[in-house]
A and B are shown apart, each in its own frame.
Chain A
Amino acid sequence: MALAKRSFDAVVVGAGGAGLRAALQLSESGLSVAVLSKVFPTRSHTVAAQGGIGAALGNMDEDSWLWHMYDTVKGSDWLGDQDAIEFMCREAPKLVYELEHFGMPFDRNENGTVYQRPFGGHSQNFGERPVQRSCCAADRTGHAMLHTLYQRNVRAHTQFFVEWMALDLVRDSSGQVLGVTALEMETGEVMILNARATLFATGGAGRIFWSTTNAFICTGDGLGMAARAGIPLEDMEFWQFHPTGVAGAGVLITEGVRGEGGYLLNKNGERFMERYAPNLKDLASRDIVSRAMATEIKEGRGAGPHGDYLLLKLDHLGPEVIDKRLPGIREISKKFANIDPVKDPIPVVPTVHYMMGGIPANYLGEVVVPQGGNPEAVVPGFYAAGECACASVHGANRLGTNSLTDLLVFGKAAAESMIKFLKENPGRKDLPKDAAERTLSRLARLDNQKNGESVAEVATEMRRTMQSHCGVFRFPDTLAEGVKKIRGIADRASRTQIKDKSRVFNTARLEALELDNLVEVARASMVSAEARKESRGAHDRSDQYKDGDRLEYKPVHMKPLTARTIEPKVRTY
């Protein structure tokens, strides 16, 4: 069947912070740009970011990009690429000022400079003491950033395809990427969006877990599409558990609360972080705090009737500070935990929050794959940025505020690389005859499936399995069992069936297609977690391991661009 086709210079899949920053660069350079999004752009998940953007502006205390780099490398447990990290930390201040000039309403100091708040894992002078590095707009930094970028894109005439879902990558026999297939929800029509350069900025995939801070839309579509097109994913075992998700609901309580002076208590009223991280205490990096919390719960010091959560205390800050600096926190606590934090502590648990792994990319935003002897051969025409990509700056653990930094820096860098690629490669390659083959056969399979599986049931089983086999603490036997289970679940997902076969706005079909992506991500995560026989950052295994066991399929770049290598050492905070 021949599909309708539309052609652009660049196609960007995703209209969150990364997609919009990239699209702006592309549109302003005069290219024809199509941006696809499953939801209206300003409803992308970036809108939920509260804490801020990490950049060493030095507005509060002395700061330098080198210290930011050190904190990021250390936070990553030395699994981040030091060239990419240097690039990000050096570029960050420029990108923040750019955003300021685009009209981003940052909080201000009395002297007019951008206000910066303290955040976990950020320090002065190579770990000596906390530094205020997070540029914020109250508790609505992501909202302000996304709206600012969207407005700029409207001005630059970026073309948006809203409520369109990209389904698969189009690659030719040489491996070059030539666009995507996509489904328009309103009509149910499938089309080829042909592009000379394609960027994935599809965000995270927290919905593979039972309990997550992520919105429903975070289904890892970009990763699913890449994996189906033969592109291996990187670092998928590293999932960040945010220390403070509201127990039971998943909703995030920003680290900003601890930045402003809130702290964690166990059921005995003990400020236990003093034992685990004597220097930075509650502001130690996320994996350390989450692990400390999981340990407290495991050892019977959790609060509540089932001893399964801890308490985040902030009443001592007083209503004025809470209302001024952390206004959203009160409403969230009232709605989802039934308490007012001005009086009572908030029940919290470590909750899945961020995917450190993703589509392997270099610091220029180019997607790379192993090919011949080269572990990092560039895939022509294909780029990735933001949470769906692994640049890799977060390594085994991301520092708070570094994702928004990543979106801005690598969104722009990927766009610059695309612009260069398009200049050097004028003209348009022919689409292969089977360009839409994978998509059409997936859709036909779904429509014709008999005696199949329920999408909701398979999704539930996947989430339960990820939660119980791939949590904060990981054990070799449960991981091995998890791999078996998740393979079985993937098998079931290949036999899903939907009752409703209609075309217009068929959400059952959309959810089945999303499940295909979720399952790719879940399987990659479980298999990688089983394979990595060491504890590192967010990946914590109970078994002993030897140095030689280290999983090495893509060498870590230890050499920065200009700075000196930050040598590995044991992480303490």
Chain B
Amino acid sequence: MTDVEMNRLRWRCRRGRLENELVLERFLDAYGAQLEGERLAALKALLDYNDDDLWSLVSGRRECGDPALGEVVQLLRRC
């Protein structure tokens, strides 16, 4: 990932809800440097979710229907 892409991603991890931001921050610290391919695509797709839906997935209130996102959702839940 280029620096610009990483910056854009970090900015989009700014959310309306602090809960999401804290989890995304932990996620980027842990996995940000190696993000590519399907994982990167999955994270980008999740960042397009609204804050409430994203938090429902991250907190485990709801299961993710999309298998392509499952792995990143699991990682976020552990962050």
Contacts and interface: CB of A to CB of B under 8 A. Distances in A.
A146 B52 CA distance: 12
Contacts of B19: 251, 332, 335-336
B44 interface: no
A506 interface: yes
A42 B22 contact: no
A147 interface: yes
Contacts of B51: 42-43, 47-48, 143
Contact of B11 (A142, A147, A507): A507
A331 interface: yes
Contact of A143 (B14, B23, B52, B60): B52
B25 to A, nearest CB: 9
Contacts of B58: 335
Interface residues on B, range: 20 to 34
Nearest to A147: B50
25 contacts: A38-B14, A39-B11, A42-B16, A43-B14, A43-B51, A45-B16, A48-B16, A140-B52, A163-B11, A215-B14, A215-B16, A215-B21, A216-B21, A249-B22, A251-B22, A252-B18, A328-B59, A328-B61, A331-B55, A331-B60, A331-B61, A334-B59, A335-B19, A505-B11, A506-B7
Interface residues on A, range: 35 or more
A510 B8 CA distance: 12
Interface in B19-51: 19, 21-23, 50-51
Nearest to B18: A215
Contacts of B50: 42-43, 47, 143, 147
A359 interface: no
Nearest to A48: B17
A213 interface: yes
A506 B60 CA distance: 34
Contacts of A46: 16
A44 interface: yes
Nearest to A44: B16
A214 interface: yes
A51 to B, nearest CB: 14
Contacts of B8: 505
B73 to A, nearest CB: 14
A45 B16 CA distance: 4
B59 A335 contact: yes
Interface string A28-68: 00000000001100111111100000000000000000000
A143 B16 CA distance: 9
Sorted nearest first, the 6 A-B pairs with minimum C-beta distance are: A47-B16, A331-B59, A507-B7, A43-B16, A505-B7, A143-B52
A505 B9 CA distance: 10
A445 to B, nearest CB: 22
